[in-house]
């Protein structure tokens, strides 16, 4: 049993322990700190959760060599390593963005498409703004298009 008195003075907490308990208390503190540091170090590199309930983020690669991550699963906006340049260029305060799209029907194949948005309204100019998402396995496909068929992501 650890006998302790805790005093708060000038914003600092002081812990006074009986002599027999000091060694055990400091040993406990040292082990707790070491475990805390290990937990923080391990969790720092694993912040790949997306905003759609914690699913792991998927790094997408398209036919033009861009690498993208889903930045917002609600809007389908992507964060890519290149700047979006939709054709025609965005007008009237619209902002360019990359979004998740398709090149031929609702089942895919999935593509990274450049477009314009104002608020929550997205618009894509056409197929010339889209580049197929390439995959070798289903793990390289976005959740909305989870199957990899002939190196293309499909639903």
Is 51 a member of any domain?
Answer: no
Answer yes or no: is 49 within a domain.
no
Q: Say if residue 41's pLDDT is above 60.
A: no
Shared domain check, 74 and 26: no
Domain residues for the domain of 76 are: 59-154
Is 126:84 a contact under the CB 8 Å cutoff? no
* 16 vs 144 pLDDT, higher one: 144
Does residue 149 form part of some domain?
A: yes
Residue 131 burial (C-beta neighbours within 10 Å; 0-12, 13-18, 19+): buried
Task: Tell whether 102 and 73 lie within a shared domain.
Answer: yes
Predicted model pTM: 0.61
Residue 84 has pLDDT above 90, yes or no: yes
Q: How confident is the model at residue 37 (pLDDT cuts 50, 70, 90)?
A: very low
- Contact in structure between 13 and 6 (CB atoms under 8 Å): yes
- According to the model, what pLDDT value does residue 38 have? 37
Each residue of 92-130: pLDDT tens digit? 889 999 999 888 888 789 999 999 988 877 888 788 899
Q: Does 66 share its domain with 15?
A: no
Verify that 132 and 78 share a domain, yes or no: yes
Task: Give CA separation, 95 vs 88, 116, 117, 135, in Å.
Answer: 12, 5, 5, 29
Claim to verify: residue 63 and residue 139 sit in the same structural domain: yes
Counting the structural domains of the chain, the total is: 2
Q: Is residue 96 part of a domain?
A: yes
């Amino acid at each position: 049993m650890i006998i302790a008195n805790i005093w708060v003075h000038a914003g600092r907490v002081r812990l006074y322990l009986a002599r027999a308990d000091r060694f055990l208390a400091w040993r406990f503190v040292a082990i707790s700190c070491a475990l805390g540091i290990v937990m923080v170090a391990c969790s720092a590199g694993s912040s790949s959760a997306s905003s759609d309930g914690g699913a792991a983020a998927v790094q997408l690669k398209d036919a033009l060599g861009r690498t993208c991550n889903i930045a917002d699963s609600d809007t389908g906006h992507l964060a890519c390593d290149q700047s979006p340049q939709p054709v025609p260029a965005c007008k009237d305060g619209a902002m360019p963005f990359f979004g998740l799209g398709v090149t031929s029907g609702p089942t895919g194949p999935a593509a990274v498409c450049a477009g314009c948005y104002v608020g929550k309204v997205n618009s894509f100019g056409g197929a010339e703004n889209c580049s197929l998402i390439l995959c070798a396995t289903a793990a390289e496909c976005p959740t909305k298009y989870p199957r990899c068929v002939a190196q293309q992501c499909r639903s």
